[in-house]
Structure formats: C-alpha cells, structure tokens
Amino acid sequence: MFHKEGTKIIFYSMLITVALVLAADYFLTLNWLRIVVQCTILVFLVIILQFFRNPNRTITAADNTIVAPVDGKVVVIEEVYEPEYFKDKRLMVSIFMSPFNVHVTRYALNGEIKYSKYHPGKYLVAWHPKASEENERTTIVVDNPIFGEVMYRQIAGALAKRIVNYAKVGEHAIQGTDAGFIKFGSRVDLYLPLGTDVKVLLNQKAVGNKTIIVEKK
C-alpha cells in the first residue's frame, strides 16, 4: 500500500523505468552491461516505491497516550527552548527517519489543532544542530485534554524538497490518522511539557502508531 502523496511520482517513475529498460535492451549489445544497467534502473524504482510505503497501522485512539508520529530512531531527548510558539522550555523528543523508513507523519495524539504554520528554509542534514530552526519545516500544535498543548515539527533534510501538512487550525486531530508526509525526508520533533515521563530511550527504534512515547495511567 502506497501513500497518496506518491501517486504521481510512482506513476512517472514506472513509465521512465519501462522506457529505460526497453532502451537498454535495444541499444546495449553486451549482455552483462545490459543486465547491470537494467538492474540498476529497477533498484532506483524500488527505492522510490519504499519511500512512499503506507502500512496500515490502525490503533484505538486514547487521550492518555502520545504515540510515535513516524518510524525512525530516537536521536534526541532533552530540554530545549522553543522560540516560535511556546517561547519557553520544553522537553524535545526527536525521531530521525532514514531513507529506508516509512515517511508518513501521523497524529501522535488526539486534540484540537491550535496552530499550523509552514516555514520555507534550507536543506541541512537532519541531525544538524540548526536544522530545526533553519530547514524547511512545519510547526503544529495540538491541544489535548490531558497533556495540554503539544507541538510537533516536521523537518526536511538534505534530500527532502517538500513537506506536506494536513493540519488546519480548528480541526480535530485524531491520533493515528495521517497528518502529513515528508517527501524523501527526514525528522520529526515532539515538544512536550517539562517533567513529562517519556517511555522511549535514546537510539531506540520507534514505529509510528505503535511505539508509546508518553502514557498517563
């Protein structure tokens, strides 16, 4: 199953792949060279297809949990100053997505969408210290009845060229449903209230809609 944001790219990629494979078959007379070229073309198609995977991971939405919004590795758990919306210190949990992870962003929690803003920017590598402030990104705040206002930020990386964001102010976010997509990229930061008892560890593999970031009994 593939995400709708990849429909056009997948379609044109398949057309180009077929054309190039046929061209290689017609123009390349050396058997080994033809096979190498055709296999390389198919590998690139497979890479594009895996970027737009959208596995079906239904969950029972719960106000008392915050789940991982994306697949990837937890690379940061630390207190930081958040200057855009809260303008105070928050606990940031950052998940880095490699090119081999699912790149769908899902709502990590239920609540009313209070803020949603797109920022054009640079394409620094996602782990760069200034990526969260200077890269292309979107900032979304969801007001949850138990946790209060929680922010998540989609951040483009060196390969990403477009962030898709479905969040609109005033709408209700339903935990686990699609919140956006980062095409060929790369990191999502969660900003939680200070003192939040997170359930994940540094370098832990997170799975979107499955890994619990925070849970209140």
Residue spans of the domains in the chain: they are 4-51, 65-215
What's the whole-model pTM score? 0.83
Whether 98 sits among the annotated catalytic residues: the reply is: no
SS3 content of the chain, % helix, strand, coil (to 5): 25, 35, 40
Residue 189 pairs in a beta bridge with 94, 153
Distance CA 75, CA 20 (A): 39
Find the catalytic residue in 94, 116, 132, 186.
186
Res 159: pLDDT:
62
Residue 115 pairs in a beta bridge with 141
CATH architecture of 65-215: Distorted Sandwich (2.70)
Q: For all residues of the chain together, what is the average pLDDT?
A: 89
74 has a pLDDT exceeding 90: yes
For the segment 158-177, the average pLDDT, to the nearest whole number, is 87
Res 181: pLDDT:
86
Distance CA 112, CA 92 (A): 20
Distance CA 101, CA 70 (A): 9
Res 195: pLDDT:
92
